[in-house]
Structure 1
Amino acid sequence: MDGTMGFAKFNSCCGCFVSSFLLVLWFCLPSILCLSNSNIITSTQNITDPETMVSPNSIFKLGFFSPENSTNRYVGIWYNNMSELTVVWVANREKPLTDSSGTVMIANNGNLVVLDGQKTVIWSTSASNISQNSSAQLLDSGNLVLQQGISNDGNNTVSGGILWQSFLHPSDTFLPNMKLGTNVKTGEKQLLTAWKDQSNPSIGTFSAAVVPLNIPQVFIWNGSSPYWRSGPWNNRIFLGVPDMQSVYLDGFNLDSDSKVGRAYLSFSFVSDPLFARFVMDPEGKLVEYRWDEENNNWFIKWSAPNTECDIYGNCGPFGSCNALDSPICSCSEGFTPKSTEEWGKGNWSGGCVRRTQLQCERSNSTGEVGKADGFLKVNMMKVPDFADWSAAADIKQCEEQCLSNCSCTAYAFDINIGCMYWSGSLIDMQKFSSGGVDLYIRLAYSEFGRKDSKVIIITTVVIGTAIIGVITYFSWMWTAKLRGRKKMKKNMDLGEVSTDLSDVGMLEDGIMTSKRRELPAFELEDLAKATNYFDTANKLGEGGFGIVYKGTLLDGQEIAVKKLSKSSGQGVEEFKNEVMVISQLQHRNLVRLLGCCIHGEEKMLIYEYMANKSLDAILFDPTKRTLLDWKKRFHIIEGIGRGLLYLHRDSRLKIIHRDLKASNVLLDEELNPKISDFGMARIFGGSQDEANTKRVVGTYGYMSPEYAMEGRFSEKSDVFSFGILLLEIVSGRKNNSFFQEEAPSNLLGHVWKLWSEGTILEMIDPALLEPSIQVEVMTCIHVGLLCVQEFAKDRPTMSSVMSMLSCEIATLPTPKQPGFIQRQITSDTESSSRNHNIFSVNDVSITICQAR
């Protein structure tokens, strides 16, 4: 009996214990499960291997990992939700854990620490002056922040003061919005340090950082020796990186303070800043990686050094390196190898020495008076290291300052830096095939005499050859002209007048077109009769090129005659260009060129007649624009898009229009749009994606930022113009129609302000505010904003634009701030546009499309 009762009591106690345990587990389980999803570490919440924590929008993850071919455990940060482990930061690089017993926690002194299984601290943030409870938070930027207090909202906002952050203690990776810098006074330095190898994150041989002395540069060191340098920063680019063309493409920014000797470099790339990174790899290369979402892997976008010439000081003092030459090293004009024997063996480290002592040096040592030194100009150079800076208004003053300083051996002038000069030896010079700056090297006066004698001989030979060539050329031209006249007369007699464009001298980018192209030629008298002798009553429009007249030929065909004005800013080259370009194109959304007329100084183009003139004549007319309901406007938008897609991708020639605007879109009697005016257009080669021009032409308000400010154009330049045009069609307002209003100053600023405030419906033409079309109109606005983003790489291609408009792409990316708007127009949610999640700044992403 007693045994039975004892057993019953035992069972009762066990039942109570189990119930209590389950109850405690029930209340604790949510905390345990949430731990791996938290982005906060507090004094009561830590991470134990293999637990992890993620940033608020699941972009980065912090936890324990083992490198490839290693069993050691490290605490690190890596990209979340990627097919391959990509580590961007490591805490305990020099003290790996040998097992899975590690813990990350907040210590009693408020620092973030990593403990091994014996509770020994193997890594710590070592912050000081922690006055209250602290916490560690992983942000969506990849930055691990130790802060005062505890963040309650769990987002990217730091609640208290920052005590320590991983961005100021980087490993081998440079992430967007990270500041890589150096402070000369305090010694504080953000240094990228390579791993020893792919399996060992401990600090390797190579490192990289920004050096702010004089003019900031980026350096790679091999141990303590310089290994590569970027050349000076000119507030736009690094002068020693020839393929770094523009801030609009590369997105770098360097904040410097010469008073305290501090410079911080940061970048924010235009495609997707969260998935671009620079890595200092174990082999000594600084590599830029981009994430390819389509192939789900990283690819190399840029790297340095790449050639022997990129290695610091490879050719020694006064030696110049050119990767395209053999041998790659040579002495500058006026210099000779220091050791001819070593130079012949390929050992250029000794460099070069002057052949002739400078005049100012001779004067100081012997009192000899002679002619003043001069400067040899060397084009497209990576300027030497150790540049000094002086305040000079222009290159002439820079030269005078260098000439008056006996120790000055060279100078260069960059409009964004000013006067750079060098004293002593010139180290790490490199000759580029493009980019760089002009370097002026100081030589004795007699060195120019040697050069001049060579020049005289060469010039004599060249001039003699040229004279013979010119005589031969004009003889051939005279003969060809006589043959051409006979041919033209014969054609006119047969009633088959034609113009051979190669005879007109069609040129594109300086290259004579090799294939002969025939285009019908009209007689001036016939065009005069067709337009009633260019009567103003037949005037259709007028632009920078001249006047367009309506005409009717004898057979009743209606035509439009574009007559080039003699005072036109668009001259003969634009006329030739348009004839050559448009004569090769056939598409229903491109205006058709019927022929041309060249008669003395008169030059005309004859097009098919478009009954409804240009789009701007209807769209911006308060009365006529009511004719354009949404169906017609969308039809026009699609037609323009198809025309551009044909120019960029589907035609035999890849053509960039460069002057797309409402007045260059013509409408036929059924309001079908046709792109016109190809005077500014440029033909690209098969593999060419981008070009540069010193002569920026087009219409302000429609030009993309990189074209208007840098002269760089591509198909993305046309996409920007298309975006402006799309927004104009939706709103019924010109982009430049806001100048008399307080703010913003253009249509882009107005649309962005409304978009950011969530009141975008206010910009839609009142005639279009029908509930049934609202989704389609909003899609067009969204696509328009994507097209006008400030950076070229952010903009979609025309093929993507057409897919978006046709709803083949249902969820659209988040637009960023457009180019050329007032910078003060921002929104509180602007930073969220950098998140990987796809949503818009005003929470109205278009994710629903209706079939048409």
Structure 2
Amino acid sequence: MMITLIISIVLCSNLIINCSSSSAVSTIKVGDRLTSHLVSPGGKFTLGFFTIPETNYTYLGIWYSNDVASTKVWVANPSTPVTSSSVLMIDPNTGKLIITTGGTTLVNISDSQSGFSPHLTATLQDTGDFQLKNEIDGRILWKSFDHPTNVLLPDMKLGSDLRTGRNWKLTSWLSDEIPDLGAFTLSWEPNGESSQRLMIRRRGLPYWTSGDMSNQTFEFTKLLNDPWSAYGYYLGYAYDNEERYFSYHSFNGVNPMWILTTNGQLSDGESNALWSPEFCYGYDSSDGCVEGTNLPLCRSADDKVTLLNGYFAPGMAELSGDDNSSLSFSDCMVRCWNDCHCLAFNSHGSGTGCNIWTGAKSAKFSTSPQGTSAPKYVLVSPKKGNDAKIFIWAPVVAGIFLLLFSFGLFRYLKNRKFKREEERQNDHDRHLLELMDSSDTEMLGKKGRDMVVFSFAALATATNDFSNENKLGQGGFGPVYKGKLNDEREIAIKRLSKTSRQGLVEFKNELILIAKLQHTNLVRVLGCCIHGEEKMLIYEYMPNKSLDFFLFDETRKLLLDWPKRWNIIEGIAQGLLYLHKYSRMRVIHRDLKASNVLLDESMNPKISDFGLARSFNKDETEAMTKRVVGTYGYMSPEYAMDGTFSVKSDVFSFGVLVLEILSGRRNICFSHLDKTVNLIGYAWELWQQGDALQLQDPTVADTCVVHQLLRTTHVALLCVQENAVDRPVMSEVISMLINDTMLLPVPKRPAFFFGRTVSKSTLVGRKTEDGSVNNLTITQVEGR
């Protein structure tokens, strides 16, 4: 009887992992045999076996539990399908994770380990990571995040570990039905610390690049931060002597994932937003495609492939097939592109193998309703067959007509040319003077209130014709130049670039606002210039450039001791208080950051760059906008997500800036090697642990007033609280900063906090180069 009971207990312990989903578990132990599925502790992810009906192959994978499409975010055995009777277990002899059937090991999932231990467990985490761990010492022996397949999840890394030689990259599936290794890989390939980019390779050769990462997006991934997208992302990277990697976090969206598709596109998993082109043909283009070599002479940049339903005229095209199951869709495309006789192509039903139609370029293709013929990708040239005559003669006829028409208008246009230019210039000048409420009509040296309208010639002389030697830097507005007037005054000139996204509206906005604002902690504008298409703002010259020029440089930050930093914090606070309460109109800056704080010869701060600022009536408290502009990392959550802004939006930005001044680190370019992805989260964790002093920049240790730093950290955390109503106004902020006896409320959880407490030794700070000097710039980021 006792023996029967013992056998029953052992059988139950081995079979408990296969119980119903009502008692779903997230962990298997030595001796467990998984035949169904695991569910992460929070129910977010599921791990289990799945079978693809088209092939009848079975795989072990992970997917979001609530994903209707069950898109697989990781596959354990993409190249080794197993039978439907297979089980997952921890090998009791080697300690490896294996898939086995009938006592035969089919797949070794995990790497070689130090040996068997009865205390090994494999757990599916709420991040989607599947980890093999020794419960005695807590060591993670293996994890799925170190072996990504075709999907990048939040917190996963793309890049390399220089200590172990491990590389993290995505590899596309062979087809939509077959998870075997496909033609494309996505990797993180930095070119020095200042150039961070993603690269898609096809069969090892560069295919597409994201362009350099800047302002929370990449040059060629504009849809990544589409304001209408269902997702919002925080992008981060590490670049040091140990690791160089990229990762991201999503602050909204249900099932965030980045998928490398079978045809080499980068997509999210929800709205199918594609951040890379459908095809790269080998010709250099502005969408990130990499220029190829040895391009076929019969192809040109005008040739494209288009998915069509239809057929070629009988006898005009010949169909050939290749059933090679290792050929992916992209291999078929390349074959056709390199074959000068190819007219169209597609893959077989399983997504592998190729069908190729060849023939003369004059072969006529007739479209048919969708579903009546197999869809195929047809090579389309703008000059093809009988249509060539149309393409030749249409421009000739149109050219003759335009020539005759132009000749008739020539005299009229000539006579009107100078008159129109004169009227347009007068309109610009008159409108500018109206903005400044001036009755003066002369443009050179005349004042509108406290503003001087400079002539273009005077500014060209002051800057030696805008020479590169006088160029201070390049911002979002355009280039910034240093100049010297005839009276020896030094000035800084922001010149609107013709390609700048900041147009006349922002130019006028900054001109109107700053002309009416006077405070010692606000940058002083001396005048402006409008000459034809040229628009320029002239400021007092700041010899010490901007705060970020010193704060984030390991050498220059030594000049910012604690008294200077405290003076800068107080000065910025006083400037904001003036904008919010004491100026003639209530002004919300909306782009407060380190690069928009200039420093005079005594290192006193002056808030600059009012192109994105908005003015309120005294009885207004908040407003909403559909066009969210600003800089990620400094925007308050209600503004970034809902478009609602108020004085509390600037308070949030001030709190982020104070944390940067205290720590000497950037908010969005700061990372914990484990979970924390921004400076706000790190400061919050230290404050909760009672270790807020560790936030201190080591370079100010000798001059720091400890109680002042701790109190300033406390106030900064009050400023970055998630709910705007919990944040203090600037008058309260200043009182809390300077009144040591004033009791401070306990801060609540900050906005945009990610992570959990980890070892203090895992800290990594990263710095990036700022492209502007003197930083008289506008940053416009389309948010959501």
TM-score (norm 2): 0.40
Which structure has more RCO (C-alpha within 8 Å, separation ≥ 6)? 2
